[in-house]
Amino acid sequence: MDIDTIAAIATAPGEAGIGIVRISGKNAIDIGNKIFRSKRVKSLKECEERKLNYGYAIDPKNEKKIDEVLVVYMKGPNTYTKEDIVEINCHGGMVPVRRILEVVLENGARIAEKGEFTKRAFLNGRIDLAQAEAIMDLISAKTDSSFDVSLNQLEGSLSREVSDMRNTLLAMLAHIEASIDFPEHDVEEITYGELESQGEEVLEKINKLLDTVYTGRILREGIKTIILGKPNVGKSSLMNAILRENRAIVTDIPGTTRDIIEEYINIKGVPLKLVDTAGIRETEDLVEKIGVDKAKGILNESDLAIAVFDTSRELEKEDLEIIELIKDKKSIILLNKTDLPIKISEDEINKLLPNKKIINTSMIKGKGLDILEETLKDMFLSSEIQIKDNTIVTNVRHRNQLLKSKENIQEALESIRIGLPIDCVEVDVKNCWENLGEITGDTVGEDIIDKIFANFCIGK
């Protein structure tokens, strides 16, 4: 990697005020010199480091100007990748950045692979693997809360927790080695007591992190929320009202929504993956029937169901089917169309769906939406999350490694308590130490590293 100099467009495609081409590697400054021209200086090396320099990007073959630019160079190791970096700021848009990148590649760089800038930062020791993954989470954050959690991890909160546990496990391994190497000394009983105490400390810390996984998944992926109801009860109107836009088609004709409509929305800091579905009913229409079947399938995968009932009509067969589908599901009941004469009472729904939150709404009048939003927040973030003070596990890979580590330390503790030979304990303690190390990348294999960075964008 220290042989190649890499380059990529670091800004999103499309029209914008600024576009950035990033170059990293030992030849980055030389390549920058070849294509940068300024009236003030003859060479980029004459410019002050880490300050923007005005000039033009040119094609060295014919000295033709490509674009008006601002160029900055940064000497390693005090850079993102710990290598020399040049960033060329040009006018935003597909043509300028593409032309500049082409000239950079013609003059000694190669196109970066997905996530290769961050991968170099990891391999060169600037960040660990958990921090590298936090960078991608920052980019894809959908709410302020998920952004704050990712920033906290980028600053090393999870890495410190893992490091503390691994240090404790290392101390346990040292006790075990001493007991094995000096069997003539009667230290085994003392060693077992210390190992049990240290193992319980590690187990407690792992459990504390695992307790945050559910909240972490909600912040990272959003609450998968399905809107359910028979045709023409106001599901699509609810979707549009929550989104504050006409995303779904609304008509008086039953069965208008036939396919699944998905949208992300941030409600009071809680990300929702909102799914509007076809109305639940018996139908001979093949396309509509497929939509109904898909709705039932999505219900099983969802975190929450918002069931909508039309209070201007008495309960029908389809309503009772929906009640049966959601009775064991975390759900909110909306009694809609309360601006019309009411034929369904709260008491009636309460008897069929006890202990469910019931909200009276009118999509036409905008009634009940504020209560719905507060309810959604309270259901999933009932206790205020202190993002700055706590480490929250948001990554599935981290969760899996913590579960493996928990199993390892539990087996070690069980071996200690039933008095198995100490070398049996050593195997489980070492496995726990290695599994935790995979979170930060200390013991991770190259295949896992490649897989993680393959999910990044090219310019990062």
Q: DSSP alpha helices (H): ranges in 211-303?
A: 213-221, 235-243, 286-301
d(CA 7, CA 19): 14
- Is there a binding annotation on residue 220? no
The response to whether 460 counts as a known ligand-binding position is: yes
Residue predicted with more confidence, 452 or 66: 66
Task: Give the CATH fold of the 6-112 domain.
Answer: Gyrase A; domain 2 (3.30.1360)
Among residues 273, 276, 274, 242, which one has the least CA distance to residue 256?
276
Q: Does the annotation place 43 within a ligand binding site?
A: no
Closest CA to 384 of 131, 221, 159, 148: 148
Decide if pLDDT at 253 tops 50.
no
Higher pLDDT: 298 or 27? It is: 27
The pLDDT value given to residue 245: 58
More confident of the two residues 278 and 207 = 207
Q: Does 248 carry a binding-site annotation?
A: no
Question: Any binding-site annotation on 236?
Answer: yes
On whether 235 is known to bind a ligand per the annotation, the reply is yes
Q: What backbone torsions phi and psi does residue 68 show, to the nearest 5 degrees?
A: -75, 130
Is 311 annotated to bind a ligand? Reply is no
For residue 406, say whether it is annotated as part of any ligand binding site. no
When pLDDT is averaged across residues 116-120 and rounded to a whole number, the result is 92
202 marked as binding residue: no
Judge whether 22 is annotated as a binding position: yes
Which CATH architecture is the domain 141-212+392-438 placed in?
Answer: Up-down Bundle (1.20)
Look at strands 53-59 and 36-37 and give their pairing.
Answer: antiparallel
Could you tell me if 21 and 31 are in contact, meaning their C-beta atoms sit under 8 angstroms apart?
A: no
- Is 345 marked within a binding site? no
What is the CATH architecture of 225-380? 3-Layer(aba) Sandwich (3.40)
**pLDDT band for position 222 (50/70/90)?**
confident
Q: Range(s) for CATH 3.40.50.300 in the chain?
A: 225-380
115 assigned to a ligand binding site: no
Instruction: Transcribe 165-222 into DSSP letters.
Output: HHHHHHHHHHHHHHHHH-TTS--HHHHHHHHHHHHHHHHHHHHHHHTTHHHHHHHHH-
273 is in an annotated binding site: no
pLDDT at 143 over 60: yes
User: Does 255 carry a binding-site annotation?
Assistant: yes
pLDDT, residue 256, reads 41
The reported pTM is 0.76
Rounded CA-CA distance 33/329 in Å is 63
Lowest mean pLDDT among 28-32, 53-57, 87-91, 257-261: 257-261
Distance CA 152, CA 161 (A): 12
pLDDT above 70 covers a percentage of the chain that reads 87
- Annotated ligand binding at 234? The verdict is yes
